[in-house]
C-alpha cells in the first residue's frame, strides 16, 4: 500500500518472459497451482467448483525469467448470464497469451469437459503444455487414466507433465518446462510484485473464500462481495464490506443463529486480510439482498465482472 516509486530492471541477455494462460475445467486445481508457483496466496481456492470468477494475474520472477500467469475461470457449459461471462473471459484469455497450460485432474479419467477444451484449443497456434495435476491422489486404475489422456490429445503435439499443486511434487520441473517454452523478453513488472490485482479485490476474494468454506452448498455462487469503504491509519486498516446475496433465505444462512456464522466469517477473513497487508485490520461485514444479481449485466458490472473484449 505504499506509493514509493518502483523501478523495472533491464532484462539481461537471454532472459525469458511472457504470459501463460492457465486453462482447465472447474476444480482441477488451477488456482492452487498458480498460488504454488507464485509462492503466495493470491487466488482463492475451495472444494466447491467454479470458485474463480475474474482473470487474475500472478507473477513469478526468477533470475532467468518472468512469468505472468493468467488464471481463468473453469470452462463449462454456461447456465446463466454469469456463466456466459466466465466462459467468454476464458476464451478471451486464450487469445492474449504466449503459452497455454492446460490443467487436468489426473486422479480421474478425461471427461467431456476436457474434450470441450481440447476442441477450443485445437485451432490455436500457441504452444500448449498439458499439466496432469493431483498425482498425489490414489487411483483405482492408473493405466486406464493415462490412456484416456493419451487418447484425448492424440491428434496434437502437446507436451505433458505430471505434478501435484498441493504437495509440490514435480512443480520445479513444471516451472522449468514453462520457462523453456517462453520467448525471450523484458521484465513486464517489477521483480518483487506477485500480482497486478488491487488489494481491495483480493480482500473481497478472501471474504468470499470464507463464505465458500463455511456455508452450505446453495449459497456460495449467489454471493458477491463489495468493499464499500476503507480507512487507513498508521495503526490499523478499517475495512467495511458488503456481502450481496440474492434471497432472504441466503441472508439468513450467512448471518446464522444469533449472528454466529457472520461472526465466524469475519474472524477468519480478518485473519487472512491481516496476512495480506501485514498489519492490523478491523473488518466490518454486512449482508445485503440484491434479487437476481447474477442475471443482470448491470449488477455484474457493478460487482466487477466484465466481459473482456
Ligand X SMILES: Nc1nc2c(ncn2[C@@H]2O[C@H](COP(=O)(O)OP(=O)(O)OP(=O)(O)O)[C@@H](O)[C@H]2O)c(=O)[nH]1
The answer on whether 74 is annotated among ligand-binding residues is: yes
Q: Which of residues 89-148 bind ligand X (CB under 6 A)?
A: 133-134, 136-137
Of 285, 263, 279, 275, which is closest to residue 204 (Cα–Cα)? Answer: 285
Applying CB under 6 A, among 21, 24, 58, 220 the residue interacting with ligand X is: 24
Applying CB under 6 A, among 17, 45, 222, 237 the residue interacting with ligand X is: 45
58 touches ligand X by CB under 6 A: no
Applying CB under 6 A, among 15, 20, 23, 28 the residue interacting with ligand X is: 28
Q: Which window, 114-122, 163-171, 237-245, 293-301, contacts ligand X (CB under 6 A)? A: 163-171
Q: Give the shortest CB-44-to-ligand X separation in angstroms.
A: 7
Applying CB under 6 A, among 164, 181, 195, 272 the residue interacting with ligand X is: 164
Applying CB under 6 A, among 11, 26, 177, 266 the residue interacting with ligand X is: 26
Q: Give the shortest CB-137-to-ligand X separation in angstroms.
A: 5
Q: Which of residues 206-265 bind ligand X (CB under 6 A)?
A: none
Q: Which residues bind ligand X (CB under 6 A)?
A: 24, 26-32, 45-47, 49-52, 73-74, 133-134, 136-137, 164-166
Amino acid at each position: 500500500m505504499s506509493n514509493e516509486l518502483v523501478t523495472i530492471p533491464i532484462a539481461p541477455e537471454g532472459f525469458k518472459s511472457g504470459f501463460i494462460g492457465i486453462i482447465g475445467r472447474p476444480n482441477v486445481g488451477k488456482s492452487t497451482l498458480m498460488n504454488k508457483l507464485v509462492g503466495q496466496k493470491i487466488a482463492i481456492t475451495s472444494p466447491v467448483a467454479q470458485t474463480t470468477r475474474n482473470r487474475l494475474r500472478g507473477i513469478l520472477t526468477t533470475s532467468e525469467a518472468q512469468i505472468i500467469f493468467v488464471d481463468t475461470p473453469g470452462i463449462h457449459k454456461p447456465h446463466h448470464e454469469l456463466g456466459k461471462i466466465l466462459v467468454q473471459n476464458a476464451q478471451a484469455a486464450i487469445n492474449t497469451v504466449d503459452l497455454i497450460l492446460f490443467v487436468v485432474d489426473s486422479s480421474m479419467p478425461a471427461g467431456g469437459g476436457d474434450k470441450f477444451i481440447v476442441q477450443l484449443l485445437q485451432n490455436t497456434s500457441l504452444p500448449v503444455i498439458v499439466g496432469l495435476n493431483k498425482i498425489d491422489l490414489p487411483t483405482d486404475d492408473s493405466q486406464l487414466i493415462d490412456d484416456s489422456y493419451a487418447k484425448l490429445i492424440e491428434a496434437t503435439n502437446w507436451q505433458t507433465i505430471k505434478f501435484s499443486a498441493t504437495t509440490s511434487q514435480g512443480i520445479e520441473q513444471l516451472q522449468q518446462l514453462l520457462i523453456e517454452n517462453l520467448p525471450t523478453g523484458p521484465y513486464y513488472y517489477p521483480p518483487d510484485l506477485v500480482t497486478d490485482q488491487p488489494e481491495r479485490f483480493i480482500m473481497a476474494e478472501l471474504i468470499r473464500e470464507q463464505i465458500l468454506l463455511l456455508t452450505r452448498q446453495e449459497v456460495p455462487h449467489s454471493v458477491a462481495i463489495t468493499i464499500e469503504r476503507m480507512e487507513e491509519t498508521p495503526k490499523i486498516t478499517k475495512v467495511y464490506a458488503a456481502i450481496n446475496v440474492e434471497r432472504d433465505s441466503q441472508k439468513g444462512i450467512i448471518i446464522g443463529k444469533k449472528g454466529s456464522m457472520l461472526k465466524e466469517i469475519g474472524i477468519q477473513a480478518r485473519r487472512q486480510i491481516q496476512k495480506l497487508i501485514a498489519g492490523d485490520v478491523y473488518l466490518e461485514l454486512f449482508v445485503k439482498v440484491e434479487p437476481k444479481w447474477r442475471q443482470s449485466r448491470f449488477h455484474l458490472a457493478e460487482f466487477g465482472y466484465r466481459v473482456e473484449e
